[in-house]
Structure 1
Amino acid sequence: MSIGTGLKLVGAGLAIGLAVVGAGQGQGQAAKGALESIGRNPQAYNKIFTPFLLAMALIEFQAILGLIIAFIIIGK
């Protein structure tokens, strides 16, 4: 394996690793906020749950995008 191939694999690993760490942090913060809000006001569940799910999907897209970028880096 050449140095270029090794650096390519390190870059791909960093791309997916940092994306997943960021997504995990974001999902944790979003879940914390939503659950605290629902805990304080249970009647607001219907108003909080749908935006929460949308936020989780958008945050998860960051991790998926990191995976796609890692595959692109490895493919070249």
Structure 2
Amino acid sequence: MATGMGLALFGAALAAGFAAIGTSIGNGLVISKVMESMARQPELSGQLRTTMFIGVGLIEAVPIIAVVVSFLIIAK
């Protein structure tokens, strides 16, 4: 039974770790493209910034869900 718990902890750590890596890559891509767009069309910077914050907020939901799933795996 101890092996099963070890594997559960390993799976939980993998889920949270990969979610964090994916989120950081996604945030970096979104922010870099928004900065590029603002440089090309400065008159749209307010609208682009608002859209960026919505997108980053949605991307940030992924690791939160992954941590919840990790807790569920550990509690099982």
What TM-score range do you get, normalising by the shorter chain? Answer: over 0.9
Q: Which residue of 1 aligns with 2:52?
A: 52
Read off the aligned partner of 2:53 and give its amino acid letter: L
Q: Percent identity?
A: 36
Q: Cα offset for 1:32? A: 0.5
Of residues 4-13 and 36-45 in structure 1, the stretch that sits farther from structure 2 once superposed is 36-45
Unaligned regions of 5+ residues in structure 2, if any?
A: none
TM-score by length of 1: 0.94
Where do 1:14-33 residues align within 5 Å?
A: 14-33=14-33
- What count of residue pairs does the alignment treat as equivalent? 76
Unaligned regions of 5+ residues in structure 1, if any?
A: none
Cα distance in 2 for partners of 1:44, 1:61 equals: 26
Runs of 4+ in 1 over 3 A off after TM superposition: none
Where do 1:4-15 residues align within 5 Å?
A: 4-15=4-15
Instruction: Say what the alpha-carbon RMSD is for the aligned residues.
Output: 1.1
Q: Which residue of 2 aligns with 1:68?
A: 68
TM-score by length of 2: 0.94
Where do 1:24-43 residues align within 5 Å?
A: 24-43=24-43
Q: Cα offset for 1:44? A: 0.9
